[in-house]
Structure 1
Amino acid sequence: MTKSNHDADVAFIQALAELLRENDLTELQVKREYGEDDSLNVRVSRQMAQQVVAQVAAPAPVAAAAPAAAAPASEPAADPASDPGAVTSPMVGTVYMQAEPGAPSFIKVGQQVSEGDTLLIVEAMKTMNHIPAPRAGTIKRILVDDGAAVEFGAPLVILE
């Protein structure tokens, strides 16, 4: 790959990142073919803290930076997943605290909920999955942020 190709690729990746921001997208993936044995695969995605991460797979080895792990704010020493009131994620996905942007959140700390009330939404494979309260109670803690990625079994909310 020549220096001019490298500069053009950097400009291309920056343009993709800007496109991601301007159109409020969460991910873009593009493959550029330069020739039979020369191509560029780019995946640009926006993480929870609105940072842009680009992964580049090119013919030459490229060092990849590990994404920073985001810890929930004010996390105590005890594992929230072991709390008896923990409501965990039934799937891998992205958390949404309201039905649509600008709408009020489903829950707040201190709020009373009934069994079956929607606590939040986990989007998985373009499907919005409402996570219901397993029982009636009070929201003690919310352990995830809006737009955060969650794993299967990750604690979402503490319900007492």
Structure 2
Amino acid sequence: MSKQTTDTDVAFISALAELLNKNDLTELSVKREYGEDDSLEVRVVKQATVMTVAAAPAPLMHHAAVAAAPVAVTPAAPEDPAQHPGAVTSPMVGTIYLSAEPGATPFVAVGAQVAEGQTVLIIEAMKTMNHIPAPRAGTVKRILVEDGHPVEYGAPLMIIE
């Protein structure tokens, strides 16, 4: 991978982020082919308050990471779950699973008592299942995510009090 290609990829990703904002889109996914077994796959997603850019890995792929500028930030609602002192936030980008396998009993439910270190959910990232432990003992007050849905780094997952 040459520096010129990396600079070109960064400019391409920046242009996609700008296109997303300009056209009031919430998500944009593009695959750029460079040749046999060489590509760049980019997914740009705008959330309510922040836009993120993620480059998905592919064999012999050029990696380009860019921090997108935040979009217009709306004032947080008084009950913003991310600001709650008992919020459990996502340590990574991935897909949320509330149980060990499809159809199995969820790790926790609203009202359940959890011990510090107990697995409360799984985040799949790059084909790896990452068990997310409860950061503290307490009662699960709210579950803020849905099984099988994507989650961003720092997103609130649940409230434990």
Quickly name the TM-score band, shorter chain normalised. 0.5 to 0.7
Amino acid at match of 1:134: P
Alignment of 1:35-74 (within 5 A): none
Counterpart for residue 142 of structure 1: 143
1:103 aligned partner, one-letter code:
A
Structural mapping, 1:5-154, within 5 Å:
78-154=79-155
- Equivalent in the alignment of 1:7: none
Counterpart code for 2:147: D
- State the alpha-carbon separation in 1 of the partners of residues 108 and 133 from structure 2: 11
Q: Distance in 2 between matches of 1:117 and 1:138?
A: 12
TM-score by length of 1: 0.53
**How far apart in 2 are the matches of 1:91 and 1:138?**
23
CA distance in 2, matches of 1:156, 1:142: 6
SS state at 1:81 partner: helix
CA RMSD of aligned residues (A): 2.4
Give CA deviations for 1:21-66 in whole Å, capped at 9, x if unaligned: xxxxxxxx9x9xxxxxxxxxxx9xxxxxxxxxxxxxxxxxxxxxxx
Question: Normalized against structure 2, the TM-score is what?
Answer: 0.52
Question: By how many angstroms is 1:79 displaced?
Answer: 1.0
Task: Compute the displacement of 1:78 (Å).
Answer: 1.8
**Which is higher, the Rg of structure 1 or of structure 2?**
1
**How has the CA–CA distance of structure 1 residues 123 and 79 changed in structure 2, closer, same or farther, with 3 Å as cutoff?**
same
Whole-Å separation in 1 of the counterparts to 2:103 and 2:144: 21
The share of aligned pairs that are identical, in percent, is: 69
How big is the shift at 1:77?
5.3
**What residue ranges of structure 1 are gaps of 5+ in the alignment?**
1-28, 32-42, 44-75
Q: Distance in 1 between matches of 2:126 and 2:78?
A: 33
Find runs of 4+ consecutive structure 1 residues off by over 4 angstroms.
Answer: none
Cα distance in 2 for residues equivalent to 1:106 and 1:134: 15
SS of structure 1 residue aligned to 2:82: helix
